[in-house]
Amino acid sequence: MSGRVVQVSVSPGGVPKRPVPSARVTIEGLEGDGHRDREHHGGPERAVCVYAMELIEALRMEGHPVTPGALGENLTLEGLDWTALVPETCLLVGDVVLQVTRYTSPCVNITASFERGDYGRISQKRHPGWSRVYARVLRSGTIRPGDPVRLVSAGEAERR
């Protein structure tokens, strides 16, 4: 299954993250992206936060005023089976290789993106399949909107 990058987003810290035309991705994450709370965000195991455009659109249909980047994701993707992005899954994004490390926990900082402030709407525990995911960077490179994205096996990711 393949998809594409809809938006690449960074911020000096906090949300929303704003769209950029491209970003260099290293083991520490996207260059130009910062985090106010390094205990819960960033670092090699949480280098890149990823979310699905299809889920953003579904949330909008429920009445939530969410937009790409507003949930703190660095990459907004479309065209993938989101339920297949489980920990240890590898993604080829342009020439960058990412490996999903965990589901993210929603926090109060994204309250404004939800009707009645219900940021728990994207909790993996409460609503499986709706969470953002964190990923580590297995191969650095530059990512741009429009870049192709596809799931790859761990073996294929190692060969790249």
Domains of the chain by residue range: 2-159
Chain centroid offset of residue 10 CA: 11
Looking from the CA of 17 toward its CB, the CA atoms found within 13 Å total: 28
Asked if 52 contacts 44 with a C-beta cutoff of 8 angstroms, the reply is no
Question: How confident is the model at residue 36, as a pLDDT?
Answer: 59
pLDDT in tens, 9-55: 999 988 999 999 999 999 999 999 986 555 556 678 999 999 999 99
- Amino acid 104 reads T
pLDDT in tens, 65-88: 999 999 999 999 999 999 999 999
What is the Cα–Cα distance from 73 to 92, expressed in whole angstroms? 17
For residue 31, the tally of other CB atoms under 10 A from its CB is 13
Question: How confident is the model at residue 64, as a pLDDT?
Answer: 96
2-159 homologous superfamily: PK beta-barrel domain-like (2.40.33.20)
Instruction: Give the model's confidence band at 121: pLDDT under 50 very low, under 70 low, under 90 confident, else very high.
Output: very high
Instruction: Give the model's confidence band at 3: pLDDT under 50 very low, under 70 low, under 90 confident, else very high.
Output: very high
* 93 Cβ contact list (under 8 Å, min separation 6): 5, 75, 77, 143, 147, 148, 149
Question: How confident is the model at residue 40, as a pLDDT?
Answer: 54
Question: How confident is the model at residue 154, as a pLDDT?
Answer: 73
Q: Counting beta carbons within 10 angstroms of the beta carbon of residue 150, is it exposed (0 to 12), middle (13 to 18) or buried (19 or more)? A: middle
